[in-house]
Structure 1
């Protein structure tokens, strides 16, 4: 790349995330990674956000990189919710951003005329069909960041071909092993659902992008990455570039988490189970109390993140009310567990040597963080892409998936006895511990100098750099 001291030749990349921490966190990590590669970054922030956690994370990013990352505010038009077939606040926010996308033209034009000029826009996949036409009109290269697994991306790319088709129990996508219908995000089974219409439109738009960045690495999903780039899944896809795992940056931790870390400092290596089902998963009180009882019975120390509201702004009741006073008394009495009811610095917890296992919903950020730190997983998908991700976890050797537990919150309540048994099995599985450590080694090689993800990202930046240089030479 060109001389790092020459600001005129710095690639200038704008990032446009959508909604929810699952989508925002990878964009924050990509921003930090690009800044480390001497890029100028414009971070487009939507107003309003759905959750407090999103607002706080963006603020911390901007504070951590005051010179390399510049904010641009994108004020959304009000959304008439009666015109959108969904009650999910995050899907509705996707739609609000999409319907406001035409307002991006002025914002991007001002960035394109900045110094250095805008080299490319990286767009969240949920916004692809609304944003790509705008960047095409402005002659700005548009790259998609896919924030889940390559396996899930294969479904997105192929799904438009399934529109109007009665889905069988087994879905055959060219070039990859079959997917089961029961693994699909539940909204996809209703083609009138807002998520489904967005999913189809964005899947159709992929071929019009300039490239696909995926937060995965080749050795985790070798068959998927190869099938996508060899044109087996669909013809005409632009290059699919694994750039993961996107590594956590120093801007992420929230203050006030020291008590959990201090508690972990007193625990034996690998003796603690971390339990968290993500920033969007709201469990029933009955299921929460079965989880707590199962953890207590397992005999292992645990850090447990409790959540019974989908949006953190709506969280009002304390831990005792949600978990139950009697159960909390038992947890506190024996000192073997810590229960928190707020956004936690998950990466700091997973990186702690005392943590030996992770009971997770298999949101992709959680999977990549577990892979990075070599922490084995007990997969309990709760919705969305999480069953497909759980299959990736199991196939890679990073963890195990209890298929009989079904979707969290749908159907049966998983009893404490089952949870106790599976936690013990995971924590006692030495082979699984070794396999998780091997996955961690591969993840670190991928982003290290000369690794597959490092080559993919630097190759992209070199192309943008060459375009800049050729324009200067004219």
Structure 2
């Protein structure tokens, strides 16, 4: 246990102490950090029966500094560092975040995180011994199911935190645990109902993008994921989900049914994303470009920090964007088949594409990182072509930006369904391992961009519904309308957090 954590523990007394343990990946570290900030704020306000809260984030030495930098001055959130030896599994010694792991080494990295158990058990035992078991609650990532077993052995409360959405998580978990049986051979559009949810049907292409390989029945990575989930479902006392009742009532019902555990919709939990370094040369370029464009006119394109599309589809996307005539910002990574290439090659884009769109003032192409939250918050941003990672979905809803959905893998396949159901999204393509644009080319991309950014009924309806959702999701984490007698109510997610604390520290 680090010196900082020892100091915080010794002064905690009988206060409730939340130990947050995210998986070692940016898409998990960010929501956990923002959840910690929310709990810190709730504790400062004296929420849930005036309970005082201490909050500690558990991670590894290379992840803690960036998390600490993202905290505001004077924050009371603490950190506990656990030693990590990825080289024991054949990974480079500095591999402490999934963001730097090649795609084919993902399973190895997942297995390696179980090496953290011994030091985590020691940390938890020390904390429970000093503060009392009833005053400690572990909130752990879905991929760290062994923490639930550790907490149960010590008599400490435990909750699972799902950083993705409720609907996509319920569907994905069901596919992992009880895969539907597709006929062989199966076409990409063949459908099957889920065994746990007969009303939910999935296409074979969606199925393959979730289980990744057709040998799922003997796939060790899938077996690992199922074991993590089973440990959570057996030993945890509830599930926190980064969503709200206003966004996903159906999804919350499904995940509660599947797990058999109480669910707490504590989202949307979002916050500012920080640049990977201090340079971030494209940050000012993006904002200046937006400043020069009319309101709600720019399409923001990003497939997330760890995703990309095949080179052939990148070519079609570029042609469609240029043909649309609409201004855009495209955060670009090498195509999926580039095998982790750092340098971008000219043949992946149409000849002269970047030069033409730059000279015409139509587009900005960004390599690597862009200030996504600032872009989505800008008045000139009119739509987001997204891979539908849940953080990106929530940020879109928070800022009232319609989405052109291009989900690539795993839960993204079903996050897009939520957006379409809410009326704030339209699908461009689906799937990375199989599917994608399919036979649809640049003309289709051009037409979809026009559908969302144009002046037609569809575009107006999506913008209106996105504005309504913006108000609803913000109300969920703040003050509600009240009771009409001058008493200000609390948003649904605030109430869920208070119920969680009451259940954890009875």
TM-score (normalised: structure 2): 0.79
What is the alpha-carbon root mean square deviation over aligned residues?
3.1
Residues 305 and 336 (structure 1), Cα distance of their counterparts in 2 relative to 1, 3 Å cut: same
Measure the CA separation in 1 of the matches of 2:88 and 2:377. 40
Residue 159 of structure 1 deviates from its aligned partner by: 4.3
Q: Secondary structure at the match of 2:76?
A: coil
Contact 2:167 2:254 in 1 (8 A): no
Measure the CA separation in 1 of the matches of 2:345 and 2:493. 41
Measure the CA separation in 2 of the matches of 1:41 and 1:316. 37
Residues 392 and 57 (structure 1), Cα distance of their counterparts in 2 relative to 1, 3 Å cut: farther
Measure the CA separation in 1 of the matches of 2:125 and 2:222. 31
Q: Secondary structure at the match of 1:200?
A: helix
Residues 221 and 62 (structure 1), Cα distance of their counterparts in 2 relative to 1, 3 Å cut: closer
Measure the CA separation in 1 of the matches of 2:247 and 2:200. 18
Q: Which residue of 1 aligns with 2:251?
A: 224
- Cα shift readout 1:352-403 (whole Å, capped 9, x = no counterpart): 111010111111111111111111011111112111111111111121124x
Q: Give the stretch that moved more between structures: 446-455 or 254-263.
A: 254-263
Q: Which residue of 1 aligns with 2:494?
A: 454
Residues 393 and 315 (structure 1), Cα distance of their counterparts in 2 relative to 1, 3 Å cut: same
Residue 113 of structure 1 deviates from its aligned partner by: 4.6
Q: Which residue of 2 aligns with 1:68?
A: 77
Residue 188 of structure 1 deviates from its aligned partner by: 6.6
Matching of residues 10-25 of structure 1 within 5 Å = 10-25=15-30
Is 1:421–2:447 an aligned residue pair? yes
Contact 2:178 2:195 in 1 (8 A): no
User: Which of these residues, 418, 430, 434, is aligned with residue 410 of structure 1?
Assistant: 434
Measure the CA separation in 2 of the matches of 1:453 and 1:348. 24
Residues 12 and 88 (structure 1), Cα distance of their counterparts in 2 relative to 1, 3 Å cut: farther
Q: Which residue of 1 aligns with 2:358?
A: 332
Is 1:154–2:176 an aligned residue pair? no
Q: Secondary structure at the match of 1:191?
A: helix
The answer for unaligned runs of 5 or more in structure 1 is 1-5, 49-53, 468-474
- Cα shift readout 1:222-246 (whole Å, capped 9, x = no counterpart): 12223444x4x45xx2211111110
TM-score (normalised: structure 1): 0.84
- Cα shift readout 1:85-111 (whole Å, capped 9, x = no counterpart): x95333432211024423311122233
Contact 2:383 2:402 in 1 (8 A): yes
Residues 45 and 448 (structure 1), Cα distance of their counterparts in 2 relative to 1, 3 Å cut: same
Residues 288 and 210 (structure 1), Cα distance of their counterparts in 2 relative to 1, 3 Å cut: same
- Cα shift readout 1:166-222 (whole Å, capped 9, x = no counterpart): 346322355673131432314274233343112321332224211101111112111
Measure the CA separation in 2 of the matches of 1:44 and 1:26. 14
Measure the CA separation in 2 of the matches of 1:191 and 1:254. 42
Is 1:212–2:239 an aligned residue pair? yes
Contact 2:311 2:336 in 1 (8 A): no
Measure the CA separation in 2 of the matches of 1:313 and 1:283. 12
Measure the CA separation in 1 of the matches of 2:362 and 2:477. 36
Residue 46 of structure 1 deviates from its aligned partner by: 2.8
Residue 285 of structure 1 deviates from its aligned partner by: 3.1
Contact 1:359 1:378 in 2 (8 A): yes
User: Which of these residues, 175, 178, 193, is aligned with residue 171 of structure 1?
Assistant: 193
- Cα shift readout 1:120-177 (whole Å, capped 9, x = no counterpart): 111110111x2211111122211111111211222355446526x6346322355673
- Number of residues paired by the alignment? 445
Q: Which residue of 1 aligns with 2:401?
A: 375
Q: Secondary structure at the match of 2:369?
A: coil
